[in-house]
Structure 1
Amino acid sequence: MDLSLFWVPVTLVAAAAQTGRNATQRRLTEKIGTVGATQVRFLYGFPFALIALAVLRLVTAETVPVPNGPFLLYVLGGATAQILATALMLSAMRERAFSVVTAYTKTEPVQVALFGLIILGDHLTPLVALAILIATLGVIGMSMKPGASLTSSGLRPVVAGVVSGAFFALAAIGFRGAILSLGEGSSLMRATTTLVWGLGAQTVILLVWLGLFDRKALFASFSAWKPSLGAGFLGALASQFWFLGFALTTAANVRTLALVEVLMAQAVSHRFLSQATTRREIMGMVLIVGGVALLLLGQS
């Protein structure tokens, strides 16, 4: 059985789970604030990752890979980069520059490709590089409001968005590097092991940070544990499939195909809010679909 394209359905499941997690976190924001809602994906996702690893170990009888020095460095780098990316993005969005920040954050696939080449030696064909560029331009176009420009909100949101995208890219490369550095185990075992260590590191970092600087948000997340469990489960589920995707192919492939999440969110928004689709959004969707089609063509 040919599993060379198995990363495609894996990535689509991850994107769908992340769409659900984002919706859950948005509802939590109203109850426990932005910081509290952000950290539940780690704090409440970590137990589910541990359960997944235990079940996998029981079902497959595989030995859990032993962490090595490079693995720990990659995991810590990826975990820290993801936290910093989220903090930068939320900080910029508080300045009422949501569309601009989102547009520049979505340059992540391009930056993933560059960092993957530099750090991990993940090479791309010209066709795949073109696919990444086209799909990214489509997302940027969809993220902008009609009549707005990429610099209309000033330089600071632009810089914050690009740097946030860079940290998200570094997080993806860090986690893929960690998975690859484990010399033993199946793709699923190495991905799940990395997920446990990654979420564990992020949980410790955020618990210490919130305990020192934002106890109100920390206690609020504890009091809202029931809805937070849902966000944590969906977050862990999405991450499980992201990491499995990273184990099967380059992070650039995974994060480019993941742009279909924008189309999923768009479909949900128009279905439940009855919003009309603008010409700009249609053009963006065409570019995303075209870029994804080129990406898949480049794998054959």
Structure 2
Amino acid sequence: METWILITVAAAFLQNIRSSMQKHLKGAMGTTGATFVRFGFGMPFALLYLGILWRVAGHDLPVPNGTFFFWSLVGGLAQIAATFLLVHLFSFRNFAVGTAYSRTEPAQAALFGLIFLGEKASLGALVAIAISVVGVMLISVARTTLSAGSLLTSVFSRTAAIGLLSGTFFGLSAVSYRSASLALAPSLPAPDYLMQASFTLGFVILLQTIVMLFWIVAREPDELKRIGVAWRPAFVVGFVGASASFGWFSAMTLQQAAIVKVVAQVEMLFTFASSFFVFREWINRLELTGCLLIVLGVVMLIVL
């Protein structure tokens, strides 16, 4: 099995843990604070990984250029916007529909990859992407009264529009991170996906931390107190989140962002496994069908 696949599956597993803990943190702080924890508490670990690769493992430090800074800025801000929009969906009663459309990220990442990087996906890869996206959408609406027809027509609703825009920003951020990481290769003696990914992650997460910290100080200063009180679980979230991000950045340095994001849908399987085996929550027929479609899409990508 290829290295990028193993890295992606591991990152998806870690992200599932991080997401579960972030839900716990929302009881102790607001949405902005819980979102900041992902970046602010993850930053020291991201910089630690970079330092270990450079000073301990002896990897050469890349020299950033204008292309790197441009795509890092685009990716970092796009990810913040995508996360904000996704969290905003919880303000709507039928946010499941919007969430389903935000999961079109792999398809949108494929489009951005074609536009900005000239990366063309094979017909088999496009079919696999479509199958996995449908699977995630089924899971997202499985516990609502929505039908397949209403899911398609609801694309014109405000909620779906926000979800699609969230998926657009997530797709843009994924392609931007790949572009930024690849831009570092010419400054190294030989391509080094670990160092390229670590350096990109370190810069981006530092940028995101600064941007969100300025926002909290200016708009929601009380959140700082809540974050300080819950620093212990936030510390764990930061560690797991930074580890997952390092995996995403590494995988997207080795493979097209859209392809990585399809394999990353296995996170949904980890989520349902946790629900069933840990919390004893039953899975209905639509959810099971969605899981099988995700598996089918991932298997197609690996085999084709």
The TM-score, its normalising length taken from structure 2, stands at 0.94
Residue 147 of structure 1 pairs with residue 153 of structure 2 = no
Deviation at 1:120, TM superposition (A): 1.2
SS of 2:64's equivalent in the other structure is coil
Aligned counterparts of 1:223 and 1:278: Cα–Cα separation in 2: 38
Aligned counterparts of 1:240 and 1:204: Cα–Cα separation in 2: 19
Instruction: Point out the more displaced range, 190-199 or 140-149.
Output: 140-149
Q: 2:171 aligns with which of 155, 169, 178?
A: 169
Residues 262 and 63 of structure 1, relative CA distance in 2, 3 Å threshold? same
On the 8 A contact 1:99/1:143 being kept in 2, the answer is yes
Deviation at 1:263, TM superposition (A): 0.9
SS of 1:201's equivalent in the other structure is helix
Q: 1:181 aligns with which of 149, 163, 183?
A: 183
Q: 2:78 aligns with which of 78, 81, 87?
A: 81
Q: 1:191 aligns with which of 190, 197, 214?
A: 197
RMSD over aligned Cα, in angstroms?
1.5
Counterpart of 2:283?
277
Residue 68 of structure 1 pairs with residue 70 of structure 2 = no
Aligned counterparts of 1:101 and 1:227: Cα–Cα separation in 2: 29
Counterpart of 1:218?
224
Q: Percent identity?
A: 40
Counterpart of 1:296?
302
Q: 1:91 aligns with which of 77, 84, 88?
A: 88
Counterpart of 1:108?
105
Aligned counterparts of 2:298 and 2:37: Cα–Cα separation in 1: 31
Aligned counterparts of 1:152 and 1:110: Cα–Cα separation in 2: 19
Aligned counterparts of 2:173 and 2:29: Cα–Cα separation in 1: 26
Counterpart of 1:138?
135
Counterpart of 2:208?
202
User: Which residues of 2 match residues 3-18 of structure 1 at below 5 A?
Assistant: 5-18=2-15
Counterpart of 2:162?
160
Aligned counterparts of 1:227 and 1:219: Cα–Cα separation in 2: 15
Instruction: Point out the more displaced range, 109-118 or 268-277.
Output: 268-277
On the 8 A contact 1:188/1:244 being kept in 2, the answer is yes
Deviation at 1:297, TM superposition (A): 1.5
Counterpart of 2:118?
121
The TM-score, its normalising length taken from structure 1, stands at 0.95
Aligned counterparts of 1:276 and 1:61: Cα–Cα separation in 2: 49
Q: Which runs of 4+ in 1 moved over 4 A?
A: 151-154
Counterpart of 1:31?
28
Counterpart of 2:268?
262
Aligned counterparts of 2:204 and 2:134: Cα–Cα separation in 1: 30
Unmatched segments (≥5 aa) in structure 1: none
On the 8 A contact 2:89/2:99 being kept in 1, the answer is no
On the 8 A contact 2:131/2:296 being kept in 1, the answer is yes
Counterpart of 2:258?
252
Deviation at 1:35, TM superposition (A): 1.2
Aligned counterparts of 2:93 and 2:55: Cα–Cα separation in 1: 49
Q: What CA deviation, in whole Å up to 9, does each residue of 1:235-266 have, x standing for no partner?
A: 10000000000111100111000001011101
Residues 90 and 115 of structure 1, relative CA distance in 2, 3 Å threshold? same
**Residue correspondences, number:** 295
Q: What CA deviation, in whole Å up to 9, does each residue of 1:106-160 have, x standing for no partner?
A: 0001001111111111211100110000011011011102422435698111000
